[in-house]
Amino acid sequence: MALTEQTRADAVDLAGRYPQSRSALLPMLHLVQSAEGQVTPDGIALCADVVGLTTAEVAAVATFYTMYKRHKVGRYHVGVCTNTMCAVLGGDAIWAALSERLGVGQDEVTADGSISLERIECQAACTHAPVMTANWEFLDDMDVPRALEVVDKLKAGEEVFSTRGPRIGTFEEIERLLAGFDDGLAQEGGKDDHMLAGLSYAKQNGMTAPEPPAESPLKPSTTEG
């Protein structure tokens, strides 16, 4: 795939969604990844041109955030959380098993281009540790057998569903979604009772947050001016 006039038109659309066009840079980098599978020099130049920045400024952003890739990843980019909570509950074992099964290590891609692996420091989902993602879609409460089943299915081109959402799309499909273009799947999946446990308990027990102090900027002003 390559950047096209449609890619540029989509980038201009993104820039127009913000009061300042440069605010669209992060979703725009996802857009160029959806078109080329990575952030290329051409993609950086496109973003710079649309938002009015230098290529150096765009490259600085693209190299700061780990979700932007400067090299090809797999059709399915699999992340394994190996931070403390996930690691002690099985994340390290999952990583080792997947690396052995696929024959690749950190930021490497299988020979057929289907899967790439990345160690993730934290996926903000400790409630469901150990956690994996495939193209940033959550796969919760994993263990070694289930993790191996997931990558085997992905390699075979079979459908795999996120534990909280829809069918897991390809890297390019998910990147376009992250850029801000609806894939029509927002209503698929359900609520996460584990993540909402604190809120549910509070509601059941009539608990509310205390009112902020009168001088707090969080408290709406009643002063007319």
Mean pLDDT computed over every residue of the chain: 90
Reported as a pLDDT band with limits 50, 70 and 90, residue 219 is: low
pLDDT in tens, 138-185: 999 999 999 999 999 999 999 999 988 889 999 999 999 999 998 888
Q: How far apart are the first and last CA of the chain?
A: 56
Tell whether the model's pLDDT for residue 221 goes beyond 60. no
pLDDT of residue 225: 47
Task: Note if the pTM is more than 0.85.
Answer: no
Buried-state track 166-179, b at ≥16 Cβ within 10 A, e below 16: eebbbbbbbbbbbb
Question: Does residue 189 or residue 95 have the better pLDDT?
Answer: 95
User: Which residue is it, tokens 């609806």?
Assistant: 182
Q: Cβ(179)–Cβ(173) under 8 Å?
A: no
Domains identified in the chain and CATH numbers: 5-64 (1.10.10), 76-170 (3.40.30.10)
Q: Cβ(132)–Cβ(142) under 8 Å?
A: yes
pLDDT of residue 188: 76
Q: Which whole-number Å values give the CA distances from 69 to 65, 139, 172, in the listed order?
A: 9, 21, 12
Nearest Cα residue to 166 out of 179, 146, 181, 185: 185
Q: Cβ(153)–Cβ(160) under 8 Å?
A: yes
Tell me the C-alpha distance between 79 and 102, whole Å: 13
